[in-house]
Structure 1
Amino acid sequence: MPFRLRLSCLFICVTLWTTFGAESHRSPNIVLILTDDLDVANGGLTPLSKTKKLIGEAGITFTNALVASPLCCPSRASILTGKYPHNHHVINNTLEGNCSSKAWQKSQEGRTFPALLKAQAGYQTFFAGKYLNQYGHSEAGGVEHVPPGWSYWVGLEKNSKYYNYTLSVNGKAQKHGADYGSDYLTDLLANVSLDFLQQKSNFQPFFMLVSPPAPHSPWTAAPQYQDRFNTTKAPRDPSFNLHGKDKHWLIRQAKTPMTNSSIQFLDEAFRKRWRTLLSVDDLVERIVKRLEVRAELDNTFIFFTSDNGYHTGQFSLPLDKRQLYEFDIKVPLMVRGPNIKPNQTSQMLVANVDLGPTILDIAGFDLNQTQMDGSSFLPIMEGRMNSSGWRTDFLVEYEGEGSEVSDPACPLLGPGVSECFPDCVCEDSYNNTYACVRTIAPSADLQYCEFDDNEVFVEVYNLTADPFQLTNIAKTIEQEVLEKMNHRLMMLQSCSAHSCRTPGAYDTRFKFDPRQMFSSWTLGT
């Protein structure tokens, strides 16, 4: 064979290996689909039939996925940083509460997991949708500000909308109106996501975070789905329209039974929420199919979750989140990807602070280089870890909004009410401030909460015997047990990085062993 021909063959072989061989050995691609206010306790996944099939049945479903705070901005900050709110300092949805503020940008934004993926793991990164509630605020840099870590940026200005919004497209304002074909936000996010998959480099792994508005208010469905679920009502579970007589002051103030107007309102909102999710289902299907057509699906992890849960009538609270109960802190979490066997279900306690560490672990990043509070649950998904090596408890913390100024809209509720729904059932106040330890172990399913209010109120629930958290058992258990739970709560509230995520270390250091503790008293209701 002539030398020139041999050289040409060698060049072709090297090119083919570089194009195909290197791609087959590169780090996996990662997609995170983050919905807004999607519950799991009240049937939120019911409309998402395609999502459950394409992600849940194709991979693993976590039945005990929790959020560190049941509100959009603090929860999203926990996802991005892998930290509890007491470490990232985003406490509510306001600029004053550090939501997308200059202080957040200076202290945390450059250390998020997407920033690490791009700068240190060689990923091309793409964001589309809702970021943080105050993103785009003039006092926080406006839409010209593009957070570090994103190769391609399509960020929604401020809170969830479906029409008549402004996007920041790589730092340039793009205004949208009310035409379904060009403006409906969920569909637009699907379209720009597919454009990214078509235009991205094929020589780098990619990370996509797609954050649609649904099912957040104003619950505007696509035209083709506006007549769906017309006879559906919010679930009438045992806590529906029930007075929370042994709960903290904000729950006790709710009117029970609710008025017909409140019930009609929440039922209609429930239907509207489900209708908006049908477009999310379409978005998931389109992304999965495009990855499959591009022969990239087998090398891609796809996560589906929400920033917090939601309630519709539980304990006579018509609509909202912000509460400590399962319906507000538990979220859907499904993952498919390489080495994840299909049709798996895990009851292990995973959380939104774990998403960043898990995604970095997938990318091959050394987690010891981070200051994240969460842990990677990749070994759980791949069947390399059982419950003995994982956490048994998790911190939930929330700081109420408002100030010590009475709200005339709700004079019976005391000072600081920040938001009201029909019949003056107010969902938040400055002293709706609490911290909880949520314990899930083979021998215990428990929640312990303390409120920072005038009562110093305590709520304790045994969810094995009382899954709907109907009865607060704080006054019926031994003082020694309460002291141990209080001590564990204080340890978690002061933890940071390694001290938050070391599995099992606290059992001996702080003498908090759920198995021993629960053997000493009756977990009755």
Structure 2
Amino acid sequence: MHNVQNILRFLFVCVGTCMLYIDAKEAVLTKEPARPNIVFILTDDQDTILGGLTPMTKVKKYLQDEGTLFTNMFTTTPICCPSRTSILTGRYQHNHDTLNNSISGNCSSKLWQQAGEKATIGTYVQSLKYHTFFAGKYLNQYGKKQVGGPEHVPPGWDKWLGLVGNSRYYNYTLSYDGKAVKHGDDYHKDYLTDLIANRSVKFIKERSQDVHKEPFFMMISTPAPHSPWNAAPQYNSSYVNNTAPKTGSYNKRGKDQHWLMRQTNIPMKPNSTQMADDAFRKRWRTLLSVDDLVEKVVMTLDSTKILDNTYIIYSSDNGYHLGQFGLPMDKRQLYEFDIRVPLIVRGPGVAKNVTRPEPVLNIDLAPTIIDIANGSSGNFPLTMDGRSIRPLFQAKSSKNAADTWRKDFLVEYQGEGFAVSKFCPQLGFGVSQCFPDCVCEDAYNNTYSCVRTLDPGSPDKNIMYCEFVDSETFVEVYNLTSDPNQLTNIKDTCDPQLLVRMNTRLIELGFCNGASCRSSGRYSKNEPVHLTKEDIKRIKEISFHHSKKNEINLDFI
């Protein structure tokens, strides 16, 4: 009997021990996965229409082949500071009020610092207990004396390496956590793209050793391929035989376009074509260093064994043109070459070597990053105008997301001009960005708002409708299915119902804020449109609003 009791006790202990082991094993197996890291790489002026991704073989290998490429990614304002402000805040220009690249236009101004800068990707992600890092170009006027100098460190960033002013490769100043450090022209110590790459690698290695395993968010913002286009020495002889792409609108005049397009030289003068060719070669050369940066970042994430738990997002602030419609070089215009930018995403659960056709925007980047940092819960600040694209690049949810995705969006720009151009005084008041051949890239009345419709499943929903604030009250309309190069303005030949429908949608988007920017609109279906008295009243209000805004803008241009 005594032996039986001992045997039973032994069996009881064994069973209990086994149960504890099983519970412990299950606890390990069901342990909540570590929150993902997020790396956001932002280039400056990288297009897609002119082949901006073509030289980037490492981006293709490490990001595109391992992730999802969005073929219809757009900026909502095709100029540096307003677009970057949209990227940081997830808001359209009319809601963040950064009008241009000047301090008076609210680029990194005191007003921005007191308002919008307190509600950016950095501040939101940091509040979610992410360790944050920024390196490179921030906003064009950052660090200037009038707005606090390099001592000002924007909220939301635990580690800050902000470039003072606009893109440069040598002879610049960086703010190292609020301390100004001047750099010279020694390639090995100062070349900015490489310096950013090396600092990013150092940060990743340090964070991989963090005993607390706090996830990190990095925003890596390169100067390339923005001018002055200083290539790394090893790439100075690359692409010597390449010339600016002869796209469908290269060195051609469109039919019935805004006056700024009508003042170009067609055919372009040799000086302008040579300048465009030279710029094209130099831009690609600078991108080769960005390609190296991407490889260094990916390889470091891999060697520290955190690559599989890291999202990498790659994009740019705006596109570019080189000879399209006779414009020598710049951005700012409403056409596809200036508003299309790259977007590639790789990371946990992201479909590999896949392309997505849905229209996605720069204002979607902040909601997407915050959504990921929030545990991919779909939650982001509802004051943002964009939406999270996470459901599109995650293989399990992409089909349902595509069915309900946006079919149109807003593009808006506030033109810049000066009293008299020093290069072209004969053109009179209000132009800017003028080249030696007296072709001006901008003017104060190059101010426009557009609705761009795009439904990959419906070729008839591929329209660009734009209204200018000028003495002509000019309208441009393009059917991009039949006219992808935007050569023929169809405002006088298209169905009047289309004009009414697009005008009404422009009013809705022009006034939208937060959730209303994500709604489909009153006339999203193809039923006949009949304007009410209230519609007519609102059209007059929006026209008056734009006119008054233009008058105010003239005071500080």
Indicate whether the TM-score tops 0.5: yes
Q: Give the Cα–Cα distance (whole angstroms) in 2 for the partners of residues 356 and 81 of structure 1.
A: 6
Identity across matched positions, percent: 55
- The answer to whether the aligner puts 1:422 opposite 2:436 as a matched pair is yes
Is 2:201 the counterpart of 1:194? yes
How has the CA–CA distance of structure 1 residues 26 and 102 changed in structure 2, closer, same or farther, with 3 Å as cutoff? same
Equivalences for residues 124-523 of structure 1 within 5 A = 124-200=131-207, 201=210, 203-364=213-374, 367=379, 369-383=381-395, 384=397, 385-403=400-418, 405-441=419-455, 442-443=457-458, 444-502=461-519, 504=520, 506=521, 510-513=522-525
1:306–1:332 Cα contact (<8 Å) kept: yes
TM-score, normalization: structure 2?
0.86
Distance 2:273 2:47 in 1: 19
For residue 218 of structure 1, what is the amino acid of its counterpart? P
Between 36-45 and 366-375, report the one with greater CA deviation: 366-375
Structure 2 contact 253–487 (Cα < 8 Å) conserved? no
Following the alignment from structure 2 to structure 1, what is the Cα–Cα distance between the partners of residues 296 and 82? Answer: 30
Corresponding residue of 1:116: 124
| Aligned residues of 2:42 and 2:222 also touching (Cα < 8 A) | yes
Map 1:61-76 onto structure 2 (within 5 A). Answer: 61-76=69-84
Preserved contact between residue 253 and residue 413 of structure 1 (Cα < 8 Å): no
Give distance in 2, aligned partners of 1:445 and 1:283: 36
Structure 2 residue aligned with 1:51: 59
Tell me if structure 2 keeps the 8 A contact 1:319–1:421.
Answer: no
Residues 143-162 of structure 1 deviation map (CA, whole Å, 9 limit, x = unaligned)? 00000000000000000000
Q: Partner amino acid for 1:180? A: Y
More deviation, 236-245/144-153? 236-245
Q: What is the deviation of 1:514?
A: 5.6
Q: Aligned-pair distance for 1:363?
A: 1.0
1:53 Cα shift?
Answer: 1.5
| CA distances 1:60-89 after superposition (whole Å, capped 9, x unpaired) | 000100001000000000000000000000
In structure 2, distance between residues paired with 1:182 and 1:216: 20
Give CA deviations for 1:37-65 in whole Å, capped at 9, x if unaligned: 00000111111110012111111000100
Give the Å deviation of 1:26. 2.2
Match of 1:94, SS state, is: coil
Residue 555 of structure 2 aligns with which residue?
none
Paired residues of 1:219 and 1:273 also in contact (CA < 8 A):
yes
Structure 1 unaligned blocks of 5 or more: 1-9, 518-525
Check whether the contact 1:312–1:320 (CA below 8 A) recurs between aligned residues.
Answer: yes
Relative distance call for 1:368 and 1:45 in structure 2 (3 A) is closer
* Aligned mates of 2:231, 2:528 — CA distance in 1: 50
Structure 1 residue identity aligned to 2:35: S
Deviations 1:188-229 (A, max 9, x none): 000000111112235111000000100000000000000000
The alignment covers a number of residue pairs equal to 494
Counterpart check, 1:37 vs 2:45? yes
Q: Is the 8 A contact 1:133 1:158 kept in 2?
A: yes
Whole-Å Cα distance in 2 between the matches of residues 155 and 64 of structure 1? 30
Query: How far, CA to CA, are the matches of 2:423 and 2:473 in structure 1?
Result: 26
How many angstroms does 1:242 deviate by?
A: 0.4
| CA distances 1:415-446 after superposition (whole Å, capped 9, x unpaired) | 21222223121111111100111110121211
Deviation at 1:283, TM superposition (A): 0.1
2:379 and 2:425 map into 1 onto residues whose CA distance is 50
Q: SS of the residue aligned with 2:315?
A: strand
In our comparison, the structure showing a higher alpha carbon Rg is 2
Q: CA deviation at 1:292?
A: 0.5
CA distance in structure 2 between the partners assigned to 1:406 and 1:216 by the alignment = 26
- 1:73 partner amino acid: C
Distance in 2 of aligned mates of 1:413 and 1:439: 35
Q: Separation in 1 of the partners of 2:378 and 2:71?
A: 28
1:387 deviates by 2.8
Determine helix, strand or coil for the equivalent of 2:524.
coil
Assess if the C-alpha contact under 8 Å between 1:433 and 1:452 holds in 2: yes
Letter matched to residue 164 of structure 1: N
For 1:220 and 1:515, locate their aligned partners in 2 and report how far apart those are by CA, in whole Å: 54
1:5: which partner in 2? none
Q: CA deviation at 1:21?
A: 9.6
Give, in angstroms, the shift of residue 414 of structure 1.
4.1
Q: Give, in angstroms, the shift of residue 261 of structure 1.
A: 1.2
Secondary structure, in 3 states, of the residue corresponding to 2:462? strand
One-letter amino acid of the counterpart of residue 374, structure 1: G
- Identify unmatched segments of 5+ residues in structure 2: 1-19, 530-557
* 1:393 maps to amino acid: D
Which shows bigger deviation, 485-494 or 378-387?
378-387
Post-superposition Cα deviations, 1:162-209, rounded to whole Å, max 9, x if no partner, equal 000000000000110000000000000000001111122351110000
What SS class does the counterpart of residue 423 from structure 1 fall into? coil
Distance 2:514 2:156 in 1: 21
User: Structure 1's 515 and 33: CA in aligned 2 closer, same or farther, altered over 3 A?
Assistant: farther
Aligned Cα RMSD in Å? 1.9
CA distance in 1, matches of 2:482, 2:447: 26
* More divergent stretch after superposition (381-390 vs 152-161): 381-390
Deviation at 1:388, TM superposition (A): 2.2
Would you say the 8 A contact 2:70–2:357 is kept in 1? yes
TM-score by length of 1: 0.91
Greater displacement, 342-351 / 236-245: 236-245
Counterpart CA distance in 2 for 1:324 and 1:370 is: 28
The runs of at least 4 aligned residues of structure 1 exceeding 3 Å deviation read 365-370, 411-414, 514-517
Contact 2:167/2:223 (CA < 8 Å) preserved in 1?
Answer: yes
Match of 2:481, SS state, is: coil
The corresponding residue for 1:523 is none
Q: 1:125 to 1:246 in 2, by over 3 A?
A: same
**Offset of 1:366 from its aligned partner?**
6.3
Return the alpha-carbon distance in structure 2 between the equivalents of residues 231 and 21 of structure 1. 58
Q: Distance in 2 between matches of 1:83 and 1:514?
A: 28
Instruction: Kindly indicate whether the alpha-carbon contact (under 8 Å) linking 1:242 and 1:315 is maintained by their aligned counterparts in 2.
Output: yes
Q: Secondary structure at the match of 2:466?
A: strand
